Amino acid sequence: MGYITYINLLNPLWWLSVGIILFKGFAFVDAAIRRDGAYRDADKKTKTFWLVLLGAALGLDLLFGANFIGSFLTLGGLVAAIVYMVDVRPAIKALTGGRGGKNDRRNMGPYGPW
């Protein structure tokens, strides 16, 4: 193991940067697996909007590094990922029953869920 790699592994800011990149990656993948109609049904922005926004945020961090102390791009992308995870994702999951691609109606009775 090289000297630079060893120092990075001991640096808590490096771990925080890796966590930010993983969080943005999870948000992007989650947005990609949700069906397009669920975004409209939940009265949120379109799937394309979220994929472009989250993909740009992730791509910029992968290209330039997640420097959350001095980079407004990293912080802006992190805010976008947080908004997706706490607002858009729960609304879509409520409509699709927690499933990504289709509306699973296994626990639906004639008058609603049971």
Taking the chain (114 residues) in runs of 10, the rounded mean pLDDT of each run is 63 87 97 93 94 96 82 92 96 80 57 67
What is the spatial distance between Cα 30 and Cα 98, in angstroms, rounded to a whole number?
Answer: 11
What is the spatial distance between Cα 11 and Cα 8, in angstroms, rounded to a whole number?
Answer: 5
pLDDT at 10 (0 to 100): 79
pTM to 2 decimal places: 0.77
pLDDT at 67 (0 to 100): 82
pLDDT at 2 (0 to 100): 53
**CA-based nearest residue to 51, from 71, 69, 27:** 27
Residue 108, φ and ψ in degrees, nearest 5: -105, 130
